[in-house]
Chain A
Amino acid sequence: MEILVASAIGILTAGGLYLVMRLRTFPVIMGISLLTYAVNVFLFASGRLTVGAPPILTDATTYADPLPQALVLTAIVISFGMTAVVVMIALGAYLGGDDDTVDDQPVEDAQ
């Protein structure tokens, strides 16, 4: 099971990294989203994997680690805010300049 989670994190990271290195804003935003998943799952997994023991106090003796969960919960919400801001900037750049490439053109090319 551990290998599945670890490899999933790796695949999400690889996909995210590849898309982040694309030249247009939209794939880059997709890439950032994939990286967000990867990072969130990575952080979550730092509490190790526990099946069937949510950190809701009952008579049970073992619980999943609640701390990474709390951390990731806010991270998910914040990442929505961050995505929204990045998207807004990308959109503003596109609407303002009619261009959705992410790289600055070298000065000599711009002329």
Chain B
Amino acid sequence: MSLFLIVALPFLGALLPGLMNSAGRAATAGVTFMVSLLAFIGLLTNLPAVWAGELVTARLDWIPLLGLNVTLMLDGLGFFFALLILGIGLLIITYGRSYLSRDDNMGEFFTYLLLFQGAMVGIVLSDNILLLLIFWELTSLSSFLLIGYWKHLPEGRQGARMALTVTGMGGLAMIGGMLLLGQIVGSYDLSVILQSRELIQASPLYLPALILILLGCFTKSAQFPFHFWLPHAMAAPTPVSAYLHSATMVKAGIFLMARMWPVLSGTPEWFVIVTTVGLITMVLGAVIALFKHDLKSLLAFSTVSHLGLITMLLGTGTAFGTMAAMFHILNHATFKAALFMSAGIVDHEAHTRDIRRLGGLRHLMPVTFVIATLAALSMAGIPLLNGFLSKEMMLEEANHTVLFGMPLLVPVMATIGSLFSAAYCFRFISHTFLGPQRDDYPTTPHDPPAGLWMPPAFLVTLVVVIGVAPFVAEPFIKMVTASVLGDAAEVPKAYFKIWHGLVPALFMSIIAVVGGLLLLMIFKPALAIWDKTPRPEAKTIFDVLIAAVVGLSRRIIAPLHDGAFTRYAAIMAVTIVGVGYHAWATGTVGAPTRAVQPTNFVQIAGWLMLVAATCGLVVLHRNRLLSLILIGIVGLVVSVGFVFFSAPDLAMTQLTVEVVTIVLLLLTLNFLPNKTPVESTLLRRTRDGVIAIGGGLATAALAFHYLLRDSVAPTISDFHLANSYKGGGGTNVVNVILVDFRGFDTYGEIIVLGIAALLIYALTETLLDGPVRARLLNRKPDQPRAGGMHPMMMVVMTRLIMPVVLMVALYIFLRGHNQPGGGFIAGLVASIAVVMQYMASGFSWTSARLRYPYHGVIGAGVLIAGLTGIGSWFFAKPFLTSDFTYVRIPPFEKFELATAALFDLGVFLAVVGAVMLSLESFSRLARRAHVRDSEHPMDIDPSRDQDKAEV
């Protein structure tokens, strides 16, 4: 099966559980299981190729300019982890089906689970480190959802937040590290990076990259000092803990260290950092685990400890250490997932996980007892179980590791860690299952249904099989090790066997097991001492830190971001002017290259009008109706300016937009107060005035500066001028640019315009559905209404004019390609024709005669424009390639037919629809408000009165 499909299946499948929710719990779990099973089988189909040492790849360019490609690869290491993720996933789904209660939303749970599964598979199959980062973050997000699945539990929410914060920060660090790595190598593809060991290790950026990447790995894999989030994540439902926090997500950090092992390891920095952190984590986790009373907390800290062990093995940088690490990953996944599931069973059946309230369960739950005991003994390192084998290899490796020049340091610490590890395993068994049966369990436990015990039983079978016959796992682990090592080192020859002779590792093992038993005997006094020792509480420190960071952010943000729009506007204006000034002051300014053009009286008159209107607007803005008139003057002068400066298209557009804008603002003013009250102090107005004048001066200076200078680089305008007629078949270059050269831009713009109109429509609908409706209905107009809402003269005039205006619109549209005009302007003109009918004859009369809804008009416009563009595909040309020809149909003159005209028709329709839908929405508000709208167009209608007289 294609690697793409393996990664995509869980993501696509994540859509299903939610849909299946109403079909029942069995169906929901079943469909989730099937999705995972398909991906699992798909993975297995790749086994022969992987086994033969081939690199299975799949490649799809995504954003090649950024070096971000969807490239996937499957080698031994990726296969191993994908197998764990999908295989244990199947067991977890089975287990989760029985574990979740009827009150839990199963569809939601399995959706999150599949999202997580997909993200994990994505991590282990990524061949591009940027892609890997995306999946990495996705696991953080989906695990956040899973940990916080029981939203009603505060611990769940807090635990989820803590996990997200810690792993998210680590992820951020890792992004930095990966980018550095990409910078060093010049590629973000893992297959290239893995070949560049010398280049990377010689780079001065090696150490920062290493530290940043390790930060990501350590946070994800709960290494000291970031180990504290894992126990708090135990508030998650047990299937989540068993899946994420034993077998998969916490191993993502380990995976990455293994993945990067060939290029990052082998240096003193790697050795010291990774081995030390691993060693500390291993011992610390084991010691804390012994004294935890909550079964899941105990297992969580033991997971921390075992992750430390694996990290330490990877840190040694030897081939044997790596092989031991891979073997232990497999073993740990089997026994720890089984243990979590057993703890979940106990919790599920006895309704408590507090080890102090348990004990004597072996007769009540014999099946669970056998499963949990075998798994725990394996974790303790008892022979004939798989944990023993990898622990022996770890101790063997520890014996050869010299840290900080002290040959005894690592072996002694490793033995102490193993000793505590054995002790908490024995405690787990004896305090839960052994001892006398009690009569104060919250509920009397018994063995669970098969759905709960089968999955851990399967894992424990593996524990025993590998433990008794290690040669079963040997070829597989060696294959995985070979792919981790790459060309960096040879796979060790050492065989996996139970009896290695009387080697030091065996004695260390014996010390650990016997010591563990002894420690358990003196557990009570030890616990008393432990309880008395003051320890830093990670959660308190974390909470204090977070509170401090939040406080600091708040202090920075509050003055800037206090909800006052005016303040944002002021800050923005000052900042832009400041930055602009800096650029001006530090850059070089060339001498003027253009002559100043002469000024005549008309221009000065226009300028004076504009200045007077603008200043008047500012001074008189409290009178809102007056300010509308003044802004109309500004718009007119700008239009005239466009005419004067050789932009007839712009002038026509500005003029028509002006009309519809004023209609719109008049409609609005109908509701808003007519006056703006004086609220700001004189000081504030002075401040705003200073900022405004500063901004104005800056803009004027900038404009004046470039008006007197030619552009530094040649512009692309000449190309448009030269090719407009030849290539686009039109002499109006502006129109040809809009519908042809930059047709795609225009296409986007009409879509934006349509969306804006739909947004206005939607807002109106929302308003009219809400409490505003009642208010509008009861609203009394604050001004006396003029009589005669639909004067006869105006009604008759607008109707007479309508066909004329539409004809003008058609004319403007048709000539647009060669003369000033085109779809935008024609659309606006046509809109004005319709708006006039609304104004003169009333809303009801016009609406009743409306044949097509405006939404449909917008849609038709966008569709026509789009189809015109797609049409060029049939001629094997890119989207929106235009063509034109000239035809002559007697008795007409020769005329042009261009596909661009069809596109322009789309623009026309979209503009008409958008403008009309906006205005119609506003007037719908007005209609509900106070107008007794009659269906008669005219207040005084001689013909109607005549009809009445006749009746």
Contact = CB atoms under 8 A, between A and B. Distances in A.
B763 A92 contact: yes
Interface stretch (B350-358, B412-420, B764-772, B836-844): B764-772
A30 B693 CA distance: 17
A56 B759 contact: no
Contact of B742 (A65, A70, A106): A70
Q: How large is the interface on B (under 10, 10 to 19, 20 to 34, 35 or more residues)?
A: 35 or more
Given A10-B703, A74-B746, A81 B757 contact: yes
Contacts of B461: none
A69 B647 contact: yes
Name the residue in B565, B734, B764, B925 with the highest tally of chain A Cβ atoms < 10 Å from its Cβ.
Answer: B734
B781 to A, nearest CB: 14
Given A4-B603, A65-B715, A38 B699 contact: yes
Contact of B647 (A5, A12, A64): A64
Contacts of A81: 752-753, 756-757, 914, 918
Given A76-B657, A104-B563, A9 B699 contact: yes
Given A1-B596, A103-B564, A94 B650 contact: no
Interface stretch (B37-45, B63-71, B229-237, B617-625): B617-625
A67 B614 contact: no
Name the residue in B689, B691, B708, B760 with the highest tally of chain A Cβ atoms < 10 Å from its Cβ.
Answer: B760
A41 B921 contact: no
B642 interface: yes
A10 B697 contact: yes
Given A21-B692, A41-B641, A103-B565, A55 B733 contact: yes
A97 to B, nearest CB: 10
Interface string B545-580: 000000000000000001111110110010000000
A50 B721 CA distance: 15
Nearest to B732: A56
B610 interface: yes
B694 to A, nearest CB: 8
Interface in B786-835: 818-820, 824, 828
Contacts of B756: 81-82, 84-85
B624 A26 contact: yes
B660 interface: yes
Contacts of B621: 19, 22, 27, 30
B664 A34 contact: no
B4 interface: no
B828 to A, nearest CB: 8
Interface string A76-110: 11111111110111111011100010111110000
Nearest to B754: A81
B627 interface: yes
Nearest to A17: B692
Given A23-B679, A69-B734, A76-B654, A100 B672 contact: yes
Interface in A40-84: 40-42, 44-58, 63-67, 69-70, 72-74, 76-84
Contacts of B653: 73, 76-77
Given A65-B717, A103-B565, A74 B734 contact: no
B717 A45 contact: no
Contact of A6 (B657, B704, B716): B704
Contacts of B725: 57
Given A11-B696, A81-B757, A25 B672 contact: yes
Contact of A55 (B677, B680, B704, B732): B732
A77 B737 CA distance: 16
Contacts of B708: 2
Contacts of B679: 23-24
Name the residue in B668, B720, B771, B914 with the highest tally of chain A Cβ atoms < 10 Å from its Cβ.
Answer: B668
Given A13-B695, A50-B646, A94-B672, A8 B594 contact: no
A93 to B, nearest CB: 10
Contacts of B617: 15, 19, 30, 34
Nearest to B919: A84
Chain B contact residues: helix, strand, loop or mixed: helix
A40 B731 CA distance: 24
Nearest to A84: B918
B588 interface: no
Given A17-B696, A104-B564, A67 B720 contact: yes
B887 interface: no
Contacts of A40: 638
Contact of B660 (A49, A78, A80): A80
Contact of B688 (A10, A18, A52, A53): A18
Contacts of B704: 2-3, 6-7
B922 interface: yes
Nearest to B921: A88
B12 interface: no
Interface residues of A, number: 87
Contacts of B654: 76
B611 to A, nearest CB: 6
Contacts of A50: 645-646
B119 interface: no
B610 A23 contact: no
B604 interface: yes
A15 B615 contact: yes
A21 to B, nearest CB: 4
A75 to B, nearest CB: 9
Given A41-B638, A69-B649, A85 B614 contact: no
Contact of A57 (B624, B664, B680, B733): B733
Nearest to A19: B621
Nearest to B685: A18
A73 B745 CA distance: 12
Name the residue in B693, B701, B766, B770 with the highest tally of chain A Cβ atoms < 10 Å from its Cβ.
Answer: B693
A84 to B, nearest CB: 4
B225 to A, nearest CB: 38
Contact of B731 (A56, A73, A103): A56
Given A17-B691, A73-B653, A42 B716 contact: no
A62 to B, nearest CB: 10
A2 B598 CA distance: 9
Nearest to B700: A10
Nearest to A104: B563
A96 B819 CA distance: 47
Interface string B604-634: 1001001100110110011010010001001
A102 B680 CA distance: 13
Given A44-B647, A51-B645, A80-B660, A66 B695 contact: no
Contacts of A47: 717
Contacts of A89: 763
B644 interface: yes
A1 B599 contact: yes
Contacts of A64: 645-647
B676 interface: yes
Name the residue in A22, A29, A51, A72 with the highest tally of chain B Cβ atoms < 10 Å from its Cβ.
Answer: A22
A52 to B, nearest CB: 6
A72 to B, nearest CB: 6
Nearest to A27: B621
A88 B731 CA distance: 39
Contact of B570 (A1, A4, A21, A52): A21
Contact of A17 (B565, B695, B766): B695
B915 interface: yes
B749 A77 contact: yes
Given A7-B607, A50-B645, A69-B650, 4 more contacts: A12-B610, A12-B614, A26-B627, A57-B733
Interface of A: 1-30, 33-34, 37-38, 40-42, 44-58, 63-67, 69-70, 72-74, 76-85, 87-92, 94-96, 100, 102-106
28 contacts: A4-B607, A5-B703, A6-B707, A7-B700, A8-B610, A9-B700, A13-B696, A14-B697, A15-B614, A19-B617, A21-B569, A40-B638, A44-B642, A48-B706, A56-B731, A57-B725, A63-B646, A64-B645, A66-B733, A66-B737, A80-B657, A81-B752, A85-B759, A87-B664, A88-B760, A92-B766, A102-B565, A103-B563
